[in-house]
Amino acid sequence: MNTRVLGADLEVSAIGLGCMGFSHAYGAPTEKSEAIRSIRAAYDMGYTLFDTAETYGTAADPHENEKLVGEALKDIRDHVQIVTKFGTRFDETSTAVNKPLIPDSRPETIRASVEGSLRRLGTDHIDLYFQHRMDPGVEPETVAQVMADLIREGKITHWGVSEANGDYLRRAHAVCPVTAVQNRYSMMARWHEALFPVLEELNVGFVAFSPMANGLLTGAYGEGARFDAKLDYRSAMPQFTPEAVEQNRALLALLRDLAERKHATPAQISLAWMLCKKPYIVPIPGSRKVERMRENSGAAEVVLSREEVETIDKTLDATPMSAVFGGTQTLPR
């Protein structure tokens, strides 16, 4: 697979693997040995960027995903880039399938988090350490100073902010250069495009999560799709409601038409669109199926010209579509 550079010098595969779904949010967890085989298969295909977080787990083991990723990559550690995150915990009093997040980026919390992540991942450093959500109770300069200290200590090599805005990014970057933001981005969720000029000014990369609108843009989930109301976040997402099937018919038809013209699949077009839009965008689709990982990796070979990308953007602007999941609710600490 081709590579891209995030920030000043973090070289990664053009497409990364979001590992959350093996343990969290997309139904029952994948059996451990199968998950490890799938992650290694992704590496064999050319994926080198693997994304997890300290909160991706189960009720029985809230940190399961980091342990899984660490075990899967332990003997190829020097050939991959591990991404994990700090700064949130779930509101365990909630009965919702998608429990609200409570941000906590106090320096002492970050210190405890990084030690826990290093231990669970079985590594001596984290390649890209994201603040999972901005904490209104902690100034960005304070967080950035902790990141600078962790870099100096060798515990992390690069850092970033997830769901960042321009003001926060500028303030944090002034203290310790930010390598990337990790924000929701897809053909249905384009509100962070307003951040692109700031990223280009500061030389900050963009890691796109949910690049296929939680799977909708693959075209695999049509009328009658059902999700586990206790374990699968998609059961509560607006793009998967019965009425959304009709609302998104034109969007999915557009993707199928583009895919046919480019001898690709709708999923590959969804990814190629953002890859060809900006050289600093790295999508991290999450899949548990090896065949889907292989399909996604093929998106790096689909070429869309600047004119084709601009035409797609204009068509998307005029295409009716349903509401799309915009993120987990965040509560005050």
The residues carrying an active-site annotation are: 56
Contact between 107 and 139 under an 8 Å Cβ cutoff? The reply is no
Closest CA to 51 of 16, 78, 24, 9: 16
Structure tokens at 8: 């000043």
Closest CA to 251 of 319, 166, 180, 190: 319
Structure tokens at 5: 């550079």
Gap between the Cα atoms of 55 and 84, Å rounded: 10
Gap between the Cα atoms of 232 and 215, Å rounded: 12
CA atoms within a 13 Å half-sphere pointing along the CA-CB vector of 7:
18
Structure tokens at 143: 């967080």
Gap between the Cα atoms of 283 and 260, Å rounded: 22
The H-or-E segment that residue 330 falls in is: none
Longest dimension (CA), the chain: 54
The H-or-E segment that residue 130 falls in is: strand 128-131
Question: Using a CB cutoff of 8 Å and minimum separation of 24, what contacts does 189-194 make?
Answer: 189/213, 189/324, 189/326, 190/316, 194/166
